[in-house]
Amino acid sequence: MEFGPIFRALLNNRTRFWLILVEVALTLAIVVNCTSIFLEKRQSFLAPTGMDTDNILAITTEPFGENFADEEFVESVGEADLRQLRSHPSIINATPIHFFPLSGSGSSIGRKAAGSEIDSVGVGYFMVDEHGIDTLGTNLIEGRNFNSSDIELSSDDDAPQNIIITKAFADRVFPDGNVIGSRLSNRDNEITETIIGVVDSMSNSWPRSGFGGQTMLLPGKPRDNREMNYLVRAEPGTIDSLYTELDELLVSLENDRIVTVRTLSEIKLRYFRRTLMAMKIWAAVVVLMIIVTSLGIVGLTSFSVSQRIREIGTRRALGATRAAILRYFLLENWLITTAGLIIGTILTILLNYALAQYAEAPKIDWILMAGGATVLWAAGLLAALIPALRATTVAPETATRTV
């Protein structure tokens, strides 16, 4: 093969060699690191919420009428709302709730297994009634759902409440299993709750945080004269029409309040807006980077071809085929790109390390590194192809004409 001549040619033209090499190496380092950050963010956004997110509506109602000073009035409005919502043909189920999952605002608390020496862990909680699990669309995998007596009991402050927790939280607090019937306590070892059920998964209000899957459901109907909120699970395909309808429906039941209807997906998008923004920026940087580097290789190789017009002509005159010329340039380029990728691998790790020092940087996955290298190999070859094809059109006479 032509490795010998290629090496000697490269030694004669070290500048171009180094420029492409550094460029490819830096590009690999940036592309792989950016992609890795991008994928990490994407994963946190796409991670399953454990709920029927696409079909859930979140409704806030904020009373302002004077009638609402009366607790019984609040109760009656709350019950009427729920009856109306649950009887609507496109609604599967509805539950009262205070804060919304995936919203970034909510309540959390420290809990541990009663009697355990291990320190308590954070858990986000929501208060829902016996329709909560069905409305959320999460699956009960152990134990039982709330019944009306659990809901009644919730108003009695002294007795431990019956609660339902997620598997993620159960695994944290009871690593040995035996969850149903076990009790939780606060940091001061006061018994607080008894577990009656476990659901497979459900995000709390902070899905991006380290404890985003640690959730518990308390029985109750959170409502007062400042806020009465609901989650509604719609039949698939009906969420858009419900979206506009529910506002009027609830206002027609009781006018003296502000009703705001949002979809749970909307709430999730808002919570993740900075993540999504960052994802777009990282993706743009990766794409721009590959384009700029490819253009750079086109430019440098073109220059090298035009500098060697006479040399190419001579080779053609001495019998080299067009294919041989093409092969020569592609091979040369491939060698430089490969050298760049080898240096680039080291640079990638260095950059990853540097970023991790004072910013976020997930560990580099080797598959990702291989993927990045393959893309750059392909881009480098494609970029070299344009000038290399031009080189094959050099006529043999060129060699004699210009000397």
Contact residues toward another protein (CB under 8 A) are: 15-16, 19-20, 22-23, 26-27, 29-30, 33-34, 37, 62, 64, 66, 157, 186-188, 190, 258, 273-274, 276-278, 280-282, 285, 288-289, 292-293, 295-296, 299-300, 302-303, 306-307, 351, 354-355, 358-361
Q: How far is the CB of 255 from another protein (least distance, A)?
A: 10
Residue 65 or 177 with smaller CB distance to another protein: 65
Coil, helix or strand for 245? helix
By the 8 A CB rule, do 196 and 150 touch? yes
Q: What angle do CA 85, 124, 259 make, to 5 degrees?
A: 30
Q: How far is the CB of 112 from another protein (least distance, A)?
A: 13
Residue 162 or 301 with smaller CB distance to another protein: 301
Residue 15 or 178 with smaller CB distance to another protein: 15
Q: How far is the CB of 351 from another protein (least distance, A)?
A: 8
Q: How far is the CB of 355 from another protein (least distance, A)?
A: 5
Residue 19 or 253 with smaller CB distance to another protein: 19
Residue 72 or 157 with smaller CB distance to another protein: 157
Of the candidates 125, 152, 137, 244, which has an alpha carbon nearest to the alpha carbon of residue 199?
137
Q: How far is the CB of 254 from another protein (least distance, A)?
A: 14
Residue 381 main-chain phi, psi, to 5 deg:
-65, -45
Coil, helix or strand for 214? coil
Residue 48 or 110 with smaller CB distance to another protein: 110
Q: How far is the CB of 145 from another protein (least distance, A)?
A: 25
Q: How far is the CB of 189 from another protein (least distance, A)?
A: 10
Amino acid at site 214 = Q
Q: How far is the CB of 101 from another protein (least distance, A)?
A: 18
Residue 152 or 256 with smaller CB distance to another protein: 256
Taking the CA atoms of the chain, what radius of gyration do you get in angstroms? 32
| DSSP string over 129-195 | -TTHHHHHT--EEEE----HHHHHHTT-SSSPEEEEEEHHHHHHH-TT---TT-EEE-TT--EEEEE
Residue 31 or 92 with smaller CB distance to another protein: 31
Exposed, middle or buried by CB within 10 Å (0-12, 13-18, 19+), for 357?
Answer: exposed
Q: What CA–CA distances, in Å, run from 382 to 3, 375, 376, 394, 398? A: 20, 11, 10, 20, 26
Q: For 326, how many CA atoms within 13 A lie in the half-sphere containing its CB?
A: 12
Q: How far is the CB of 33 from another protein (least distance, A)?
A: 7
Q: How far is the CB of 387 from another protein (least distance, A)?
A: 11
Residues pairing with 128 in the sheet: 219
Tell me the C-alpha distance between 319 and 396, whole Å.
9
Exposed, middle or buried by CB within 10 Å (0-12, 13-18, 19+), for 148?
Answer: exposed
Output DSSP code: residue 100. P
Q: Which residue has the tokens 């009856």?
A: 83
Of the candidates 216, 192, 242, 297, which has an alpha carbon nearest to the alpha carbon of residue 89?
242
Residue 197 or 313 with smaller CB distance to another protein: 313
Residue 159 or 288 with smaller CB distance to another protein: 288
